[in-house]
Chains A and B, each alone.
Chain A
Amino acid sequence: MTTAINGRHIPDRLTSPAARALKSWEGLLLVVAVAIFILNALASPYFLDPWNLSDASFNFTEKAMIAFAMAMLIVAGEIDLSVGAIIALVSTVMGLAMTLGTPTPVLVLLGLGTGLLCGAFNGLLVAGFGLPSIVVTIGTMSLFRGISYIVLGDGAFTGYPESFAWFGQGYVFWVITVELVIFALAALVFGVLLHRTSLGRMVYAIGNNATAARFSGIRVERVRFILFLLTGLMSGIAAICLTSRLGSTRPSIAAGFELEVVTIVVLGGVSILGGSGSVLGVVLAALVMGLVTFGLGLLNVPGIVMSIVTGALLIAVIAIPRLWAMARRR
């Protein structure tokens, strides 16, 4: 049964929730993730080992933590290309403090604080001065990593305290790593934040039409500032995990992270133009990316070739639905 309104047919009932879920981007991602999982299991006998899988999770946990915050930022129509540079700066600050004999809890607080400060700096420039986020974060990307280079030159900080290693190398229970737990918690927090709070609603409103959002009483600039703050904080957390896992800080740490984080977000079905996307999609996209990288790693594919796959994936994910739509219009 359909009713015609203004020449458009409106169905009486929507399709069933199960059918919609299958057709949705998230459903597709789930199918892809399972398919890659099975392919990997068939391709390599070492894949299904729980310890290998646990090791493989490091491929995506740190990037995904940032991806959740980046997803909110992109839904709101902004972008932050400085996340990799924030990691470098946070790691450098922690390294500098470490050489002065700072205990682990203070190192962590310093890391979180530096991340927040970097985010606040981006947020101030974008929300406070109304500058475009792409150029601002290209600028701060040079600035933050540049400061790391000034401090470190071609040197490195090594010799983090043993207790600091827990974040990147510790296990909470059996094969469940600390990073995996942080990843799951972050997914939960950001899922609630984006989909169940008024802040999340505001983010969608701003992403769809910032002017309309402003006229409906949303403090657009404040929300934008908060989003940059969140991205800085998550980059800080990721920096703690990454530094702890590597056990050293070089100024080139986390180079190119911004590309992979943006790829995860876009692969997760978040529109790069803002206004739509879900945290569930980002979680699934992170799993897909992690599985692809791990699978390629098992096949001895070098890292730079994996980066080609990442780049191609980023373009293909956006191009294929558009090509599909073009083909259907004909």
Chain B
Amino acid sequence: MSMLKSRETILALAILALLAAIASRFPGFVSPGNLARVLTDTSPLILLALGQMTVILTKCIDLSVAANLALCGMVAALMNGAGVPLPLILLAVILLGAALGAVNGLLVWKLGIPSIVVTLGTMTIYRGSIFLMTGGAWINAHQMSDAFKAFPRTVVLGLPVMAWIGLAGVAAMALVLTRTPLGRAFHAVGGNPHAAVYTGLSVGRTQCAAFVLSGALAGLTGYLWVARYAVAYVDIAAGFELDVVAACVIGGIAIAGGAGSVAGAVMGALFLGIIKNALPVVGISPFWQMAISGSAILVAIAFNAASQREPGRIILKQAEHRT
């Protein structure tokens, strides 16, 4: 536990150092107003990273989140076009996202197919479905109602609703993961599946629950994304699943399952969000973003692995080198 804490402390320090480095040249970046903008901008990543974290905790991975987001976003835009009121749209996208997550979860649970294969497949199926629904057409700002677009931007108590939803997601997930049997189950199933079975937990069902949670969050984010950028088309958030996995890996969520915290996932997302927002300020081409997040993933996993290496394995490796 102390090791976990220390890893998050290191990440927090890294974020502070990053902010300090940017602030030394561009003090405007750390003004409260701009930091709030960064938080708002990073909210989708935070929400998806929270879902991805629960999936990774149970030894799975969800590569379909970005496609799920895009599909739900398109459905939200289409429902808006049909005149459905906003609360119903919100409910619908959350349910649809959860259902898409359940498809992943059921394939993993009932058929025992490795999650990477399932979600690699559903990723293309979900995104392709958007094309089937729309024939590749775009839904632009003028085709969306004002209420639909305004909701995520509405400022409440100094922060836009989008940021508040991100924060609410963080609070809710922290509660679920540390204070409920389900949260305990996520950790137990990933930490030691065999032991989890002996304590009466269904590994598959818990994994399925994680996928449903991840899907529901992706669905909600789909609406936020489409409303905020005021456009919906087949390729929105393409490749975003990599950023989400990157946020989790940077946040110290062990890819082998069982270890990780909400604070880690959130800080991993914020780390990437700060870099993304700082690049144009510092004057680096946004085309650097992809390579930087790739490098950040590699550094983070190397770092995590170094701190997680079990003593037993090291002994075996030394013995191996001697021969």
**A interface residue numbers (CB < 8 A to B):** 79, 125, 129-132, 134-136, 138-147, 149-150, 152-154, 214, 251, 256, 259, 262-263, 266, 272-273, 302, 304-305, 307-308, 310-312, 314-315, 318-319, 322-323
B114 touches A272 (CB 8 A): yes
- How near does chain A come to B230, taking the closest CB pair, in angstroms? 22
- Tell whether A131 pairs with B302 under 8 Å between CB atoms, given A304-B127, A310-B124: yes
A138 touches B117 (CB 8 A): no
**B interface residue numbers (CB < 8 A to A):** 61, 107, 111-114, 116-118, 120-125, 127-129, 131-132, 136, 234, 242, 245-246, 249, 255-256, 285, 287-295, 297-298, 301-302, 305, 309, 313, 316, 320
For residue A150, which residues in chain B have a CB less than 8 angstroms away from its CB? 285, 287-288, 291
- Tell whether A135 pairs with B113 under 8 Å between CB atoms, given A304-B128, A311-B125, A315-B122: no
Q: How far is B302's CA from A319's CA once the two chains are assembled, in angstroms?
A: 34
For residue A262, which residues in chain B have a CB less than 8 angstroms away from its CB? 117, 120
Where chain B touches its partner, the secondary structure class is helix
B291 touches A304 (CB 8 A): no
B305 touches A129 (CB 8 A): yes
A136 touches B120 (CB 8 A): no
For residue A304, which residues in chain B have a CB less than 8 angstroms away from its CB? 127-128, 131, 136, 234
B113 touches A322 (CB 8 A): yes
B245 touches A138 (CB 8 A): yes
B246 touches A136 (CB 8 A): no
Given A136-B298, A142-B242, 7 additional A-B pairs, CB 8 A: A130-B305, A139-B298, A141-B242, A142-B293, A272-B114, A305-B132, A315-B122
Give the nearest-CB partner of A129 in chain B.
Answer: B302
Q: How far is B272's CA from A261's CA once the two chains are assembled, in angstroms?
A: 29
For residue B285, which residues in chain A have a CB less than 8 angstroms away from its CB? 150, 153
Interchain Cβ contacts within 8 Å, total number = 139
Question: CB within 8 A of B245: which of A135, A147, A153, A322?
Answer: A135
A142 touches B294 (CB 8 A): yes
- Tell whether A314 pairs with B120 under 8 Å between CB atoms, given A132-B255, A143-B294, A149-B290: yes
A131 touches B301 (CB 8 A): yes
For residue B107, which residues in chain A have a CB less than 8 angstroms away from its CB? 315, 319
Give the nearest-CB partner of A260 in chain B.
Answer: B124
Q: How far is B117's CA from A16's CA once the two chains are assembled, in angstroms?
A: 34
Q: How far is B125's CA from A130's CA once the two chains are assembled, in angstroms?
A: 33
Interchain residue pairs A-B with the least CB separation, the first 8: A146-B291, A142-B294, A143-B294, A146-B290, A308-B128, A139-B297, A311-B124, A311-B121
